[in-house]
Amino acid sequence: MKTYKTILTAVAALAALGAIQSASAETLRVGTECTYHPFNFRDSSGNLLGYDIDVARAVGQHLGAEIEFVCQKWDGMIPSLLANKFDLIVASMSITEKRKKKIDFSDPYRVSIGQFIGAKSKGLKFFNADGSVNAAGFKGVKIGLQRATTYDNWLQAKAPGAQVVRYDSIEALYLDLKNGRVDAIMTNPMKAYLKFLSKPDGAGYDVIGPQIEDTEYFGTGVGIGLRKGNEALLKRVNKAIRTITDDGSLEKFALKHFPFTIHPKKWKGAG
Amino acid sequence: MSFDIALVFDSIPKMLEGIGLTLELLFLSTSIGLILAVITLLMRISGRRFLAWPAMAYIYVFRGTPILVQIFVIYYGLPQFDLIRESIFWAILREPFGCMVVALSLNAGAYVSEILRGGLLGVDRGLHEAGKALGMSTPQRFIYITTPIAVRLAIPAYSNDFISMLKATALASTVTLLDMTGVARTIVAKTFAPYEIFIAAAMIYMVMTWFIQRGFGLFERRMSRYVKP
């Protein structure tokens, strides 16, 4: 048995709240990795923190349920959910067609986005004032990205004039952006912020244009995973996500770790 | 395990788009490498320490480190120095193609100079003496006796190195270039069919190797006229 689990006591406030709301408080066990900074991780004193953790707790609060976290390695995440080791996956799991065959997903609580990053001084104009793609601004511009990613497909479709330079690793992207071999890079702004923009190396560089939220290319985003055939719970979870999106909770959770928000701006719901 | 044989043949035309770059890398760096090799060889056999030692150091460094490491040092390492980025070399080192040619040429230079030295040492002493007896000067003996025979003796080892260089060009794909392997890796990342695509790439490399082998075989025959009637 490789999987081990650690059951954490729920936060005191939540527990109290659950106790007030109903005598027979529902308990929801939440599977997460506990090692994926800054989404689900432990601080130096062992407390679980992160965007996923905040979302799980907030959803629990709106559901009137107590949340128990179960730490689970990534490769066993879906099997453990199916084996009833826990009831929800809140672990930065992207909604994909393949996974949807096994489990249900809630509406997204985090987006899959791409964004351009480049030197502030270059004055690159990739977007028009209304946020649409300015194809002319890409003409002859060298854009670095990781080989055969969704960004690659997006760029080829939307800005065929750009000169695409394909890399094997994301670190190489930052290096060559700094070395001036590419004019800009296209990547996930969360990763770029954590590894590059927030570091001394990233001084003088910034995001160019808005977050690109194109579900056709980048997918629906990250949702909460549930066992199939749990329609009632799925509905309640979706309602809770809707609430914490609208009341600004998700924004607050994101701003703890990033200087920007990471939830879907245009609410669509899982199609 | 499913093997899609049609995919192998479908991917070959796409991969041939990269063959131009592969050949450019191969011929440019073997040519520059050969020039470097001859210079290094002459330094090495000059009998003057201040020439021989740098040549030996150069050979040692480039034979003693993996090409991939050399490429990474040249591609990612050198631009860390502002001095390099502001120098005239930046025009070459800025481009991944330039970095690749520099790395492969330096590598070829080191190996080939040793191959040529081997050929040189293989030339029979008696031939020198015969040349001397005919009244040939030292440069004359070097040009008309030593060099042709040394070249002939070096061909098998040199063709070996040439083929190694063909395969070393595949490392260009690690620095964003779309040579044949670069194209292959991009197709793999899209089709998730590594087996079929890399087999197709292997087939193209083997065809190229066959032509190289054949070319060197003919060259060797021509250079061996003096032994085979």
**pLDDT digits (tens), chain A, 271 positions:** 444 444 444 444 444 444 444 445 789 999 999 999 899 999 999 999 999 999 999 999 999 999 999 999 999 999 999 999 999 999 999 998 889 999 999 999 999 899 999 998 888 889 988 888 998 899 989 999 998 788 998 999 999 999 999 998 888 999 999 999 999 999 999 999 999 999 998 999 999 999 998 888 888 899 999 999 999 999 999 999 999 999 999 999 999 999 999 998 765 543 3
How far apart are the C-alpha atoms of A185 and A151, rounded to whole Å? 10
How far is A152 from A74, CA to CA, in rounded Å?
A: 26
Contacts of B96 in chain A (CB under 8 A): 181
- Ramachandran sector of residue A140 (left: φ over 0; alpha: ψ -120 to 50; beta: rest): left
Q: Mind spelling out the 3-state secondary structure of B149-180?
A: HHHHHHHHHHHHHHHHHHHHHHHHHHHCCCCH
User: Is B176 within 8 Å of A148 when comparing Cβ atoms?
Assistant: no
Distance from CA of A16 to the nearest CA of B (A): 50
Per the rule left: phi > 0, alpha: psi between -120 and 50, beta: everything else, A207 is beta
- A179/chain B closest Cα distance in angstroms: 6
Average pLDDT, chain B: 92
Q: Is A222 exposed, middle or buried (0-12, 13-18, 19+ CB in 10 A)?
A: buried
Report residue B78: phi and psi, to 5°. -60, -40
User: Would you say residue B147 lies in a domain?
Assistant: yes
Comparing alpha-carbon positions, the chain A residue that sits nearest to B189 is A148
Angle between helices B96-121 and B49-63 (to 10 degrees): 120
Q: Which of A259, A266, A261, A251 is nearest to A213 (CA)?
A: A266
> Which residues 166-185 on chain A approach chain B with CB closer than 8 angstroms?
166-168, 172, 175-176, 179-181
A144 neighbourhood in chain B, CB within 8 Å: 176
Residues of A in contact with B85 (CB under 8 A): 179-180
Which A residues in the span 130-159 are in contact with B, Cβ-Cβ below 8 Å? 144, 147-148
Instruction: Kindly state whether residue B122 falls inside one of the protein's structural domains.
Output: yes
Q: A interface mutation test: which of B176, B177, B185, B190 has the most A CBs within 10 A?
A: B176
Nearest CA to A199 out of A115, A117, A113, A116 is that of A117
Neighbours of B81 (CB within 10 A): 10
CB A52 within 8 A of CB A39: yes
Q: Is the minimum CB–CB distance between B191 and chain A shorter than 8 Å?
A: no
A180 and B96 in contact by Cβ < 8 A? no
Identify whether B12 is part of a domain.
Answer: no
Of A144, A147, A179, the CB nearest to B189: A147
Mean pLDDT in residue range B159-180: 95
Which pair of structure tokens corresponds to residue B130?
Answer: 């015969």
Contact between B116 and B59 under an 8 Å Cβ cutoff? The reply is no
CB contact under 8 A, B178 and A166: yes
- What backbone phi and psi angles, to 5 degrees, belong to B25? -60, -45
The C-alpha of A188 sits at a distance from chain B's nearest C-alpha, in angstroms, of: 19
Count contacts between A and B (CB, < 8 Å).
30
**CB-based burial, B67-80: b 16+ in 10 Å, e otherwise:** beebbbebbbebbe
Find the mean pLDDT for residues B40-53. 94
Model ipTM value: 0.73
A148 with B76: Cβ contact below 8 A:
no
pLDDT in tens, B21-35: 999 999 999 999 999
Per-residue pLDDT, A22: 47
Single-letter amino acid, residue B103: A
Q: Residue B126 CA to chain centroid, in angstroms?
A: 33
Residue A25's pLDDT is 74
- Confirm or reject contact between B81 and chain A (CB < 8 A): no
Does the residue B81 lie in any domain? yes
Instruction: Locate all alpha helices (DSSP H) within B45-178, ordered by sequence.
Output: 49-63, 67-72, 82-86, 90-93, 96-121, 125-133, 138-141, 147-168
Closest partner CB to A147 (pick from B79, B96, B185): B185
Give a yes or no: residue B216 inside a domain. Answer: no
Tokens of B86: 């502001």
> What domains appear along chain A, each with residue ranges and CATH number?
12-110+221-255 (3.40.190.10), 114-217 (3.40.190.10)
Residue B29 domain-assigned? yes
The nearest CA of chain A is from the CA of B195 a distance in Å of 17
Full residue range of the structural domain in which residue B109 is found: 20-179
Give the total number of structural domains in chain B: 1
Query: On the CB side of A248, how many CA atoms lie within 13 Å of its CA?
Result: 1
Using DSSP's 3-state secondary structure scheme, residue A93 falls into strand
| pLDDT score of A266 | 62
* Arithmetic mean of pLDDT, B189-200: 87
- Residues present in chain B in total: 229
Nearest CA in chain A to B191: A148
Residue of chain A whose alpha carbon sits nearest to that of B178: A166
| Alpha-carbon span A31 to A8, nearest angstrom | 12
Residues from chain B that touch A172, judged by Cβ atoms under 8 A, are 76
Give Cβ neighbours of residue A119 (< 8 Å, ≥ 6 apart): A177, A183, A204, A205
Cis peptide before B148 (omega within 30 of 0): no
Position A223, amino acid:
G
Chain-centroid distance, C-alpha B170: 12
φ/ψ region of A148 (left if φ > 0, alpha if ψ in -120 to 50, else beta) reads left
Domain assignment present for residue B184? The answer is: no
Check if the beta carbon of residue B112 is closer than 8 Å to that of residue B32: no
Q: Any idea what the CATH number is for the domain that residue B117 is in?
A: 1.10.3720.10
Is position B135 within any domain? yes
Contact A167 B94 (CB under 8 A): no
